[in-house]
Amino acid sequence: MEVPSYNYDLTNVAVQAAHKAGDLLRRGFGSHFDISKKSNTFDIVTEFDKAAELAVISHITKFFPSHAFLAEESGSIDKPNAPICWIIDPLDGTLNFAHHIPTFCISIAAVSGTEILSGVIYQPLLDELFVAEKGHGAFLNNVRLRVSTVEQLNMALISTRFPYDSPESRQKSIQSFSKILSIGNPIRITGSAALSLAYVASGRFDAYWGLDLSPWDFAAGKLLIEEAGGTITSYNGENIFPLKNCNTLATNTALHAAILSYMK
């Protein structure tokens, strides 16, 4: 594995960790594996989520023993006065992975206070590595990324998620979905919020909206979008913080105000 040298050691280590987890997920994809339920039938975790998370945390800890973690399967791992908190989704798109659907990724972000310094999203089956560094741009396999240039809402390819937890969140989601659907645009659901955000950063999608995303779903994607010239806010247009759940709208900037008006 050849790892190019980025501006921050944080990014180099995150890329290495993503490759380690990616090797595991690539080997596990399509095999028989243990699946357990979390909060409901569709909220599941596989043995590969856990193994990939362990691989990422162990790799990062080897280089940065004083850093803290917020990881989907392990929760919060605090360290006194940690200068950096790593936000990790070891397998975003678990339901896809469990159903042998080849759309999933690993998402890793390094956060100092509320500032995201490095963000890495890796799709191991396609070997697509999305990397962003604060102030140094966003890249897909070392090629600079820019968001799309679409300015008219009726030309936009938009992606979203549907929640399946509480009846209230399903209801809220139906409202925003039917408003966007009324524009008459095509809508895509990848089943991986992090990958959808990386696709906004790379101009494949013009926008993505998702109710109640967790920090590990959007932290790396947020930096990718901002470094690629996009905008990512709450449904109220406010800045979003990497350590809190958030209703998230990500766009190519040109479409932000127009789509925001449908979220209210």
* Residues forming the site for ligand IPD (CB under 6 A): 72, 89, 92-95, 161, 191-193, 217
**DSSP state letter for 155:** G
Rounded Cα–Cα distance for residues 216 and 129 (Å): 17
Binding to Ca ion by residue 206, rule CB under 5 A? no
Binding to Ca ion by residue 226, rule CB under 5 A? no
Closer residue to ligand IPD, CB minimum distance, 2 or 100: 100
Binding to Ca ion by residue 227, rule CB under 5 A? no
Exactly one of 53, 217, 226, 227 binds Ca ion (CB under 5 A); that residue is 217
HEC string for 189-214: CCCCHHHHHHHHHCCCCCEEEEEEEC
Q: Which does 192 bind (CB under 5 to 8 A by kind): ligand IPD, Ca ion, none?
A: ligand IPD
Query: At closest approach, how far in Å is the CB of 234 from Ca ion?
Result: 18
Rounded Cα–Cα distance for residues 42 and 65 (Å): 35
Binding to Ca ion by residue 89, rule CB under 5 A? yes
Window 106-135: residues binding Ca ion (CB under 5 A): none
Query: In a 10 Å sphere around its CB, with 0-12 CB exposed, 13-18 middle and 19+ buried, how is residue 77 labelled?
Result: middle
Binding to Ca ion by residue 53, rule CB under 5 A? no
Rounded Cα–Cα distance for residues 77 and 75 (Å): 7
Residues in touch with Ca ion (CB under 5 A): 72, 89, 91-92, 217
